Amino acid sequence: MRKIVKAADIMLLAGKSRRQASRILADIRKETGKEKHRHITVRDVAKYYNLDEDEVQRVLDYNDN
């Protein structure tokens, strides 16, 4: 079970291009007050998209297999 979200994960979750996914990660960092070098977590993404953390985690786990 991963807790860190990368641009490729955002591409899968939101159906966005890599560039758009990178921008979304930057938006999440800005919204959460995290610095550039800090990781984005499943919780951060779930809050940003107003989704359940478990649902985001299931999609990421399914993609890892």
The pTM of this model reads 0.89
Domain range enclosing 28: 4-64
pLDDT, tens only, 7-60? 999 999 999 999 999 999 999 999 999 999 999 999 999 999 999 999 999 989
Two tokens at 11?
């591409």
Do residues 64 and 2 touch, judged by C-beta distance below 8 A? yes
Number of domains in the chain: 1
Model pLDDT, residue 50: 96
